[in-house]
Structure 1
Protein backbone atom coordinates (compact mmCIF):
# COMPACT_ATOMS: atom_id res chain seq x y z
CA UNK A 1 0.00 0.00 0.00
CA UNK A 2 2.87 2.33 0.79
CA UNK A 3 4.33 1.64 -2.63
CA UNK A 4 1.03 2.40 -4.33
CA UNK A 5 0.63 5.59 -2.37
CA UNK A 6 4.15 6.68 -3.29
CA UNK A 7 3.57 5.88 -6.94
CA UNK A 8 0.31 7.79 -6.91
CA UNK A 9 2.01 10.79 -5.37
CA UNK A 10 4.79 10.56 -7.96
CA UNK A 11 2.24 10.21 -10.72
CA UNK A 12 0.32 13.22 -9.47
CA UNK A 13 3.50 15.27 -9.36
CA UNK A 14 4.33 14.15 -12.87
CA UNK A 15 0.91 15.21 -14.09
CA UNK A 16 1.19 18.61 -12.44
CA UNK A 17 4.66 19.30 -13.78
CA UNK A 18 4.92 16.88 -16.69
CA UNK A 19 6.09 19.45 -19.19
CA UNK A 20 8.72 20.80 -16.83
CA UNK A 21 10.00 17.26 -16.16
CA UNK A 22 10.21 16.22 -19.79
CA UNK A 23 12.02 19.30 -21.05
CA UNK A 24 15.15 18.92 -18.88
CA UNK A 25 15.32 15.24 -19.90
CA UNK A 26 15.20 16.24 -23.57
CA UNK A 27 17.82 18.91 -22.94
CA UNK A 28 20.07 16.38 -21.22
CA UNK A 29 19.65 14.01 -24.13
CA UNK A 30 20.59 16.70 -26.64
CA UNK A 31 23.56 17.73 -24.51
CA UNK A 32 24.74 14.12 -24.30
CA UNK A 33 24.41 13.70 -28.04
CA UNK A 34 26.38 16.88 -28.68
CA UNK A 35 29.16 15.83 -26.30
CA UNK A 36 29.41 12.49 -28.09
CA UNK A 37 29.61 14.13 -31.50
CA UNK A 38 32.28 16.60 -30.42
CA UNK A 39 34.26 13.86 -28.67
CA UNK A 40 34.05 11.66 -31.76
CA UNK A 41 35.48 14.37 -33.99
CA UNK A 42 38.28 15.08 -31.51
CA UNK A 43 39.14 11.37 -31.21
CA UNK A 44 39.08 10.87 -34.96
CA UNK A 45 41.35 13.89 -35.49
CA UNK A 46 43.80 12.80 -32.78
CA UNK A 47 43.80 9.00 -33.05
CA UNK A 48 42.46 8.19 -36.50
CA UNK A 49 39.84 5.56 -37.31
CA UNK A 50 41.70 2.61 -35.81
CA UNK A 51 42.12 4.30 -32.44
CA UNK A 52 38.63 5.76 -32.22
CA UNK A 53 36.20 3.26 -30.74
CA UNK A 54 32.77 3.91 -29.27
CA UNK A 55 34.20 3.15 -25.81
CA UNK A 56 37.01 5.70 -26.25
CA UNK A 57 34.56 8.35 -27.44
CA UNK A 58 32.13 7.63 -24.60
CA UNK A 59 34.91 7.96 -22.04
CA UNK A 60 36.04 11.26 -23.52
CA UNK A 61 32.46 12.55 -23.56
CA UNK A 62 31.95 11.47 -19.95
CA UNK A 63 29.06 9.09 -20.67
CA UNK A 64 28.60 5.35 -20.53
CA UNK A 65 29.08 3.17 -23.56
CA UNK A 66 25.44 2.17 -23.29
CA UNK A 67 24.38 5.82 -23.46
CA UNK A 68 26.55 6.29 -26.53
CA UNK A 69 25.00 3.29 -28.26
CA UNK A 70 21.54 4.52 -27.34
CA UNK A 71 22.16 7.61 -29.45
CA UNK A 72 24.29 5.89 -32.10
CA UNK A 73 23.73 2.13 -32.46
CA UNK A 74 26.84 1.58 -34.58
CA UNK A 75 30.33 3.02 -34.81
CA UNK A 76 29.64 4.14 -38.37
CA UNK A 77 26.50 6.00 -37.23
CA UNK A 78 28.52 7.86 -34.61
CA UNK A 79 31.40 9.03 -36.76
CA UNK A 80 29.48 9.99 -39.88
CA UNK A 81 27.04 11.94 -37.70
CA UNK A 82 29.95 13.59 -35.89
CA UNK A 83 31.65 14.88 -39.02
CA UNK A 84 28.32 16.03 -40.46
CA UNK A 85 27.44 17.83 -37.22
CA UNK A 86 30.69 19.77 -37.06
CA UNK A 87 30.53 20.52 -40.80
CA UNK A 88 27.13 22.12 -40.26
CA UNK A 89 28.46 24.05 -37.27
CA UNK A 90 31.38 25.35 -39.34
CA UNK A 91 29.05 26.34 -42.17
CA UNK A 92 26.93 28.35 -39.76
CA UNK A 93 30.04 29.96 -38.30
CA UNK A 94 31.21 30.88 -41.80
CA UNK A 95 27.89 32.54 -42.57
CA UNK A 96 28.01 34.37 -39.24
CA UNK A 97 31.34 35.95 -40.24
CA UNK A 98 29.53 37.76 -43.06
CA UNK A 99 26.06 38.66 -41.75
CA UNK A 100 25.83 41.48 -44.27
CA UNK A 101 25.32 38.93 -47.03
CA UNK A 102 26.71 38.60 -50.56
CA UNK A 103 26.98 42.28 -51.43
CA UNK A 104 29.05 43.24 -48.40
CA UNK A 105 31.10 40.06 -48.52
CA UNK A 106 31.74 40.47 -52.22
CA UNK A 107 33.42 43.80 -51.52
CA UNK A 108 36.13 41.94 -49.57
CA UNK A 109 36.65 38.68 -51.42
CA UNK A 110 40.03 38.12 -49.82
CA UNK A 111 38.33 37.75 -46.42
CA UNK A 112 35.89 35.25 -47.93
CA UNK A 113 38.70 33.24 -49.53
CA UNK A 114 40.62 33.21 -46.24
CA UNK A 115 37.52 32.05 -44.33
CA UNK A 116 36.88 29.27 -46.84
CA UNK A 117 40.49 28.12 -46.60
CA UNK A 118 40.15 28.05 -42.81
CA UNK A 119 37.41 25.43 -43.20
CA UNK A 120 40.08 23.00 -44.37
CA UNK A 121 42.82 23.68 -41.82
CA UNK A 122 41.18 22.67 -38.54
CA UNK A 123 40.26 19.48 -36.67
CA UNK A 124 37.13 18.99 -38.78
CA UNK A 125 39.15 18.50 -41.94
CA UNK A 126 41.62 16.23 -40.15
CA UNK A 127 38.75 14.13 -38.79
CA UNK A 128 37.05 14.01 -42.17
CA UNK A 129 40.28 12.90 -43.80
CA UNK A 130 40.59 9.98 -41.38
CA UNK A 131 37.01 9.07 -42.16
CA UNK A 132 37.70 9.14 -45.91
CA UNK A 133 40.73 6.88 -45.51
CA UNK A 134 38.72 4.45 -43.40
CA UNK A 135 35.90 4.48 -45.94
CA UNK A 136 38.29 3.43 -48.67
CA UNK A 137 38.77 0.13 -46.79
CA UNK A 138 35.47 -0.27 -44.94
CA UNK A 139 32.66 -1.36 -47.27
CA UNK A 140 29.92 -0.58 -44.73
CA UNK A 141 31.28 2.94 -44.20
CA UNK A 142 31.97 3.96 -47.80
CA UNK A 143 28.39 4.73 -48.97
CA UNK A 144 27.70 6.88 -45.90
CA UNK A 145 30.90 8.87 -46.24
CA UNK A 146 30.45 9.30 -49.99
CA UNK A 147 26.94 10.65 -49.49
CA UNK A 148 28.07 12.86 -46.60
CA UNK A 149 30.96 14.32 -48.58
CA UNK A 150 28.64 15.09 -51.51
CA UNK A 151 26.21 16.96 -49.24
CA UNK A 152 28.93 18.88 -47.42
CA UNK A 153 30.56 19.73 -50.74
CA UNK A 154 27.31 21.05 -52.22
CA UNK A 155 26.59 23.15 -49.14
CA UNK A 156 30.11 24.60 -49.05
CA UNK A 157 29.86 25.45 -52.75
CA UNK A 158 26.52 27.21 -52.20
CA UNK A 159 27.95 29.24 -49.34
CA UNK A 160 31.00 30.18 -51.40
CA UNK A 161 28.85 31.33 -54.34
CA UNK A 162 26.65 33.37 -52.02
CA UNK A 163 29.46 35.06 -50.09
CA UNK A 164 31.53 35.79 -53.18
CA UNK A 165 28.54 37.27 -54.98
CA UNK A 166 29.31 34.96 -57.91
CA UNK A 167 27.02 34.71 -60.94
CA UNK A 168 27.31 31.10 -62.04
CA UNK A 169 25.32 31.74 -65.19
CA UNK A 170 28.47 33.32 -66.61
CA UNK A 171 30.92 30.97 -68.36
CA UNK A 172 33.74 29.74 -66.18
CA UNK A 173 32.46 31.16 -62.90
CA UNK A 174 31.24 27.85 -61.47
CA UNK A 175 34.54 26.20 -62.33
CA UNK A 176 36.46 29.07 -60.73
CA UNK A 177 34.54 28.74 -57.47
CA UNK A 178 35.01 24.98 -57.45
CA UNK A 179 38.69 25.47 -58.19
CA UNK A 180 38.90 27.73 -55.14
CA UNK A 181 37.44 24.99 -52.94
CA UNK A 182 39.75 22.37 -54.45
CA UNK A 183 42.69 24.67 -53.78
CA UNK A 184 41.52 25.18 -50.18
CA UNK A 185 41.36 21.42 -49.70
CA UNK A 186 44.89 21.10 -51.03
CA UNK A 187 46.14 23.74 -48.60
CA UNK A 188 44.43 21.83 -45.82
CA UNK A 189 46.32 18.69 -46.78
CA UNK A 190 49.62 20.58 -46.84
CA UNK A 191 48.87 21.93 -43.37
CA UNK A 192 48.51 18.44 -41.87
CA UNK A 193 52.26 17.93 -41.59
CA UNK A 194 53.63 21.45 -41.17
CA UNK A 195 52.38 24.93 -40.41
CA UNK A 196 51.95 26.30 -43.91
CA UNK A 197 50.59 29.67 -42.80
CA UNK A 198 52.94 32.00 -44.67
CA UNK A 199 52.58 30.30 -48.05
CA UNK A 200 48.85 30.00 -47.45
CA UNK A 201 48.54 33.76 -47.01
CA UNK A 202 50.25 34.38 -50.35
CA UNK A 203 48.05 31.84 -52.13
CA UNK A 204 44.92 33.36 -50.58
CA UNK A 205 45.94 36.81 -51.80
CA UNK A 206 46.55 35.50 -55.34
CA UNK A 207 43.23 33.65 -55.46
CA UNK A 208 41.39 36.73 -54.22
CA UNK A 209 42.95 38.75 -57.05
CA UNK A 210 41.96 36.07 -59.60
CA UNK A 211 38.41 36.05 -58.29
CA UNK A 212 38.15 39.82 -58.48
CA UNK A 213 39.14 39.61 -62.14
CA UNK A 214 36.88 36.65 -62.95
CA UNK A 215 33.80 37.76 -61.02
CA UNK A 216 33.97 41.49 -61.80
Structure 2
Protein backbone atom coordinates (compact mmCIF):
# COMPACT_ATOMS: atom_id res chain seq x y z
CA UNK A 1 0.00 0.00 0.00
CA UNK A 2 1.29 3.42 -0.95
CA UNK A 3 2.55 5.40 2.03
CA UNK A 4 1.14 8.88 1.51
CA UNK A 5 3.07 10.25 4.48
CA UNK A 6 6.59 8.78 4.36
CA UNK A 7 8.85 9.77 7.24
CA UNK A 8 10.66 12.92 6.23
CA UNK A 9 14.43 13.15 6.20
CA UNK A 10 14.08 16.19 8.45
CA UNK A 11 11.01 15.65 10.66
CA UNK A 12 9.00 18.70 11.57
CA UNK A 13 9.59 19.65 15.19
CA UNK A 14 6.34 20.19 17.06
CA UNK A 15 6.38 22.51 20.08
CA UNK A 16 3.52 21.59 22.45
CA UNK A 17 0.81 24.05 23.38
CA UNK A 18 1.16 25.78 26.74
CA UNK A 19 -0.65 28.10 29.13
CA UNK A 20 0.59 31.32 30.72
CA UNK A 21 -0.91 33.68 33.26
CA UNK A 22 -0.88 37.44 32.68
CA UNK A 23 -2.57 40.62 33.90
CA UNK A 24 -4.03 43.77 32.38
CA UNK A 25 -1.69 46.57 33.48
CA UNK A 26 -3.46 49.39 31.61
CA UNK A 27 -6.13 50.03 28.98
CA UNK A 28 -6.40 52.69 26.30
CA UNK A 29 -8.85 53.87 23.67
CA UNK A 30 -8.35 56.07 20.59
CA UNK A 31 -10.73 58.78 19.40
CA UNK A 32 -12.37 57.96 16.09
CA UNK A 33 -10.21 60.46 14.17
CA UNK A 34 -6.70 59.64 15.44
CA UNK A 35 -4.67 56.53 16.28
CA UNK A 36 -3.12 57.84 19.53
CA UNK A 37 -4.90 56.53 22.61
CA UNK A 38 -5.79 57.74 26.12
CA UNK A 39 -6.00 55.73 29.38
CA UNK A 40 -9.34 54.31 30.54
CA UNK A 41 -10.40 52.00 33.36
CA UNK A 42 -12.31 49.56 31.14
CA UNK A 43 -12.80 48.61 27.49
CA UNK A 44 -16.17 47.48 26.18
CA UNK A 45 -15.56 45.15 23.25
CA UNK A 46 -17.95 43.96 20.57
CA UNK A 47 -17.32 41.83 17.52
CA UNK A 48 -16.25 45.05 15.77
CA UNK A 49 -13.64 45.82 18.43
CA UNK A 50 -13.80 48.87 20.70
CA UNK A 51 -16.88 50.94 19.94
CA UNK A 52 -15.85 54.34 18.55
CA UNK A 53 -12.14 53.49 18.50
CA UNK A 54 -9.94 54.50 15.56
CA UNK A 55 -9.40 50.83 14.66
CA UNK A 56 -12.95 49.61 15.27
CA UNK A 57 -14.86 47.79 12.56
CA UNK A 58 -15.49 44.35 11.10
CA UNK A 59 -13.54 45.41 8.02
CA UNK A 60 -10.75 47.86 7.23
CA UNK A 61 -8.97 49.32 4.21
CA UNK A 62 -5.71 47.73 3.07
CA UNK A 63 -2.48 49.71 3.28
CA UNK A 64 1.25 49.28 2.93
CA UNK A 65 1.21 46.06 4.96
CA UNK A 66 -0.87 44.35 2.24
CA UNK A 67 1.01 44.97 -1.05
CA UNK A 68 -0.92 42.10 -2.67
CA UNK A 69 -4.06 44.31 -2.73
CA UNK A 70 -4.56 47.73 -4.29
CA UNK A 71 -4.31 50.28 -1.47
CA UNK A 72 -7.74 50.95 0.01
CA UNK A 73 -9.21 47.50 -0.69
CA UNK A 74 -11.85 46.53 1.87
CA UNK A 75 -10.72 43.49 3.86
CA UNK A 76 -11.31 41.70 7.17
CA UNK A 77 -10.18 43.79 10.15
CA UNK A 78 -7.74 41.63 12.08
CA UNK A 79 -6.17 44.74 13.66
CA UNK A 80 -8.96 45.71 16.06
CA UNK A 81 -6.66 45.77 19.10
CA UNK A 82 -3.03 46.70 19.72
CA UNK A 83 -1.36 44.81 22.60
CA UNK A 84 2.01 45.85 24.07
CA UNK A 85 4.32 45.05 27.01
CA UNK A 86 6.17 47.58 29.19
CA UNK A 87 9.45 45.64 29.21
CA UNK A 88 9.60 45.60 25.41
CA UNK A 89 8.77 49.31 25.14
CA UNK A 90 11.58 50.00 27.62
CA UNK A 91 14.06 48.24 25.31
CA UNK A 92 12.86 50.26 22.32
CA UNK A 93 13.10 53.50 24.32
CA UNK A 94 16.69 52.70 25.33
CA UNK A 95 17.60 51.99 21.71
CA UNK A 96 16.15 55.36 20.71
CA UNK A 97 17.91 57.20 23.53
CA UNK A 98 14.67 57.99 25.38
CA UNK A 99 13.67 57.69 29.01
CA UNK A 100 10.35 56.08 28.07
CA UNK A 101 7.83 55.36 25.34
CA UNK A 102 4.26 55.59 26.56
CA UNK A 103 1.83 53.02 25.12
CA UNK A 104 -0.65 55.71 24.13
CA UNK A 105 1.91 57.41 21.90
CA UNK A 106 1.84 54.41 19.57
CA UNK A 107 -1.88 53.68 19.75
CA UNK A 108 -1.82 50.74 22.16
CA UNK A 109 -5.11 49.47 23.60
CA UNK A 110 -3.83 46.90 26.10
CA UNK A 111 -0.69 46.94 28.22
CA UNK A 112 -0.08 43.35 29.36
CA UNK A 113 2.32 42.23 32.07
CA UNK A 114 3.53 38.74 32.95
CA UNK A 115 4.24 37.34 29.47
CA UNK A 116 7.94 37.13 28.54
CA UNK A 117 8.64 38.11 24.92
CA UNK A 118 5.04 39.20 24.34
CA UNK A 119 5.69 40.16 20.72
CA UNK A 120 6.80 36.61 19.95
CA UNK A 121 3.46 35.01 20.84
CA UNK A 122 2.38 33.17 17.69
CA UNK A 123 -0.68 33.81 15.58
CA UNK A 124 -3.65 31.97 17.00
CA UNK A 125 -2.76 32.59 20.64
CA UNK A 126 -5.92 33.11 22.70
CA UNK A 127 -6.19 35.54 25.60
CA UNK A 128 -9.01 34.60 27.97
CA UNK A 129 -9.89 37.45 30.34
CA UNK A 130 -11.28 36.47 33.74
CA UNK A 131 -14.59 38.28 33.24
CA UNK A 132 -15.33 36.48 29.97
CA UNK A 133 -13.74 38.32 27.03
CA UNK A 134 -11.58 36.41 24.56
CA UNK A 135 -9.27 37.99 22.00
CA UNK A 136 -7.20 36.18 19.38
CA UNK A 137 -3.72 37.17 18.24
CA UNK A 138 -3.38 37.71 14.51
CA UNK A 139 0.29 38.68 14.18
CA UNK A 140 3.14 40.86 15.34
CA UNK A 141 2.47 44.55 14.91
CA UNK A 142 5.07 45.85 12.50
CA UNK A 143 6.53 49.20 13.66
CA UNK A 144 6.01 52.10 11.26
CA UNK A 145 7.26 55.65 10.95
CA UNK A 146 3.80 57.09 11.71
CA UNK A 147 4.09 55.74 15.24
CA UNK A 148 7.75 56.79 15.19
CA UNK A 149 6.74 60.37 14.40
CA UNK A 150 4.30 60.33 17.30
CA UNK A 151 7.06 59.18 19.65
CA UNK A 152 9.48 61.81 18.34
CA UNK A 153 6.95 64.61 18.78
CA UNK A 154 5.86 63.57 22.28
CA UNK A 155 9.45 63.03 23.43
CA UNK A 156 10.59 66.36 21.98
CA UNK A 157 13.28 64.78 19.81
CA UNK A 158 15.26 67.31 17.76
CA UNK A 159 15.14 65.67 14.33
CA UNK A 160 11.54 64.48 13.95
CA UNK A 161 11.98 62.82 10.56
CA UNK A 162 15.16 60.92 11.45
CA UNK A 163 13.65 59.85 14.77
CA UNK A 164 10.47 58.67 13.06
CA UNK A 165 12.57 56.39 10.86
CA UNK A 166 14.57 55.17 13.86
CA UNK A 167 11.51 53.62 15.48
CA UNK A 168 10.91 50.86 12.86
CA UNK A 169 14.55 49.78 13.20
CA UNK A 170 14.57 49.92 17.01
CA UNK A 171 11.20 48.24 17.55
CA UNK A 172 11.43 45.30 15.17
CA UNK A 173 9.80 42.28 16.90
CA UNK A 174 9.24 44.39 20.02
CA UNK A 175 6.23 46.47 18.99
CA UNK A 176 3.62 44.08 20.37
CA UNK A 177 0.73 42.32 18.69
CA UNK A 178 -2.48 42.98 16.82
CA UNK A 179 -5.56 40.99 17.77
CA UNK A 180 -9.29 40.76 17.17
CA UNK A 181 -12.29 40.07 19.37
CA UNK A 182 -13.45 36.46 19.43
CA UNK A 183 -15.82 36.78 22.41
CA UNK A 184 -17.07 40.25 23.39
CA UNK A 185 -17.56 41.81 26.80
CA UNK A 186 -15.76 44.24 29.09
CA UNK A 187 -12.07 44.21 30.09
CA UNK A 188 -10.95 45.98 33.27
CA UNK A 189 -7.57 47.16 34.51
CA UNK A 190 -6.03 44.58 36.84
CA UNK A 191 -7.96 41.68 35.33
CA UNK A 192 -6.25 38.29 35.14
CA UNK A 193 -5.65 36.69 31.75
CA UNK A 194 -5.18 33.05 30.83
CA UNK A 195 -2.94 32.94 27.76
CA UNK A 196 -3.17 29.79 25.65
CA UNK A 197 -0.26 29.45 23.26
CA UNK A 198 -1.10 27.00 20.47
CA UNK A 199 0.99 24.08 19.27
CA UNK A 200 3.72 25.41 16.97
CA UNK A 201 5.92 24.22 14.12
CA UNK A 202 8.02 25.60 11.28
CA UNK A 203 6.79 24.57 7.84
CA UNK A 204 9.67 22.66 6.19
CA UNK A 205 11.41 24.05 3.11
Structure with the greater relative contact order (CA < 8 A, sep ≥ 6): 1 or 2?
2
TM-score when normalising by structure 2: 0.24
Q: Normalization by structure 1: what TM-score?
A: 0.23
Which structure carries more strand by proportion? 2
Q: Which has more helix, going by share of residues?
A: 1
